[in-house]
Structure 1
Amino acid sequence: MAIDYKLIGPGFAAEISGVDLAEDWSDKTIERVREIWFDHKLVIFRNQNLEDKDLERFVGHFGEIFVHIRSQFHSSGNPGITLVSNVKKEGKPIGALGDYGIGWHCDQIYREQPAFSTILYGVEIPSEGGNTLICDLAQAYAKMPTDLKAKIDGKRAVYSIAKITEKRDYATTQKQQAASPDVAHPLVRRHPYTGRPSLFFSPDHTVRIDGIAEDEQEEVQRQLVDWASQERFVYEHSWQIGDVIMWDNSSTMHRRGGFPSSERRLLKRTGFMLPEDLATPLPAET
């Protein structure tokens, strides 16, 4: 299988061609895709035609599939795949997140061991809106002003599943909340494989930054968002049916634009975990 890729957007997103995610892959192909992903944090595959079993096999090339806590949106018979959709069946949503815009966040950062990767597969796409924006937090940290770095180096932020639920159209059950108590992670994280330092931050989940005065919390968090979300650090994905995108949650955050409620949008979301010995985020040596 011949693999080729090109960089798009601001230069950290890699569009890979010459691969079919529904096929069995050789170890060489798996390793090459992993190398490209480690280098660029986000990879994109076009024109895929996948069943759930194909997605599960693809995820299995890289790690243990992640099972999302919100079981009400699992794909039928596939707890490792979650539906992201505004489509309703018998008056009830079949998936999460509706048609509204979603702010900057990092998936499952409210867990002690967050998912390493998120993978999205485009099944139904609206004619306008609904773009996914991914921010390169490693580059944002590398180019961060010294004074802002000094404010966050050695600090930890506290994240909560309840915090993000306030911004969504579904509730967190008591059982789900009990399974995900608030957790603190380093604001500057070491990549588990490359060792690369990166900002590790999820604005929509943040309760507070430990070590920052209460009257400075809002301002410091705003500075981090404003700096990291500059156009030079952000790739905007305009969806096509059959697209698959895979990003590294340890070095990125993402958000979504809204789209007309009259249009249907259905994505399948999955992802994978790190091995147990690497799964808990560790601070970078700054």
Structure 2
Amino acid sequence: MVYLEKQTKITSATQQKQSYRYLYLLVFTGGMTTLAIELSASRLLGNVFGTSNLVWANVIGLILLYLTAGYFIGGRWADHSPYAKTLYQIVLWAAFLGALIPLVARPVLTTAAVAFADLQAGLALGSFIAVLVLFSVPITLLGTISPFAIRLAIEQVEDSGKVAGRIYAISTLGSLIGTFLPVLFIIPTLGTIQTFLLFAGALYLIGFIGMWREVKIRALRWLWQPVLIVVLALVVLSGPLRPPPDGRTLLLEDESAYNYIQVQEDERGYRYLLLNEGQGVHSIW
């Protein structure tokens, strides 16, 4: 009997340790995804609105505002429902809505690009604001992860400072990876929208595995979310971001490490190299 009790305690301690490690992995991925979305957001908007300090200030300022709301809501939410299942539900919704951002923003940005070409400032400004609002819910949900994880990880008040410091350190380390990896490699290689989908997909996978650990086969009910993302991606990403004006044909649309690029050809055979918002022509040949 003593042996069985000892084995039960060892098993319980091992499972708890594994649970904490998975919680740290979740926090790391959440921090990485948050900064990856922020950096990708500036590129998503820069393709149409340019990369001025005004664009950067709006992106950074609003992301910080959404994170502030997330930290506040996450702490209260964790006290109200301190269960791992609740945290994984939040993560799944955050990843799903994060993946939706570029897909919903695509038609809005296309409208804004046309408005820029026609010098319709009001419509362009409205599109800019609409895209920024799209980030509100997913970023707020991402902000809830760290305070929620702290609430789940703390067993004794004496360890609360150490636990909180460890979780925020892991989250910040993930944010560091999420800062450089998209900018230096993934965006130039895959593109902005694909970067959103990649990081949101990684977070979704971590959240789904965590949900499976909690509720087993009932986790399958969440799979409608990635299926919907795939369907929307196939529909939304079929056309160009910025349609060429009348009299021109789009020859190339691509992204480099620094710019969104279009090559257009007019009826006389002249070709135009346009960068980012396309208000100026970089080259004609």
From the CA coordinates, give the structure whose radius of gyration is larger.
2
The answer to whether TM tops 0.5 is no
Say which structure, 1 or 2, has more relative contact order (CA 8 Å, 6+ apart). Answer: 1
Report the TM-score, using the length of structure 2 for normalisation.
0.22
Name the structure where strand makes up a greater proportion of residues: 1
Report the TM-score, using the length of structure 1 for normalisation.
0.22
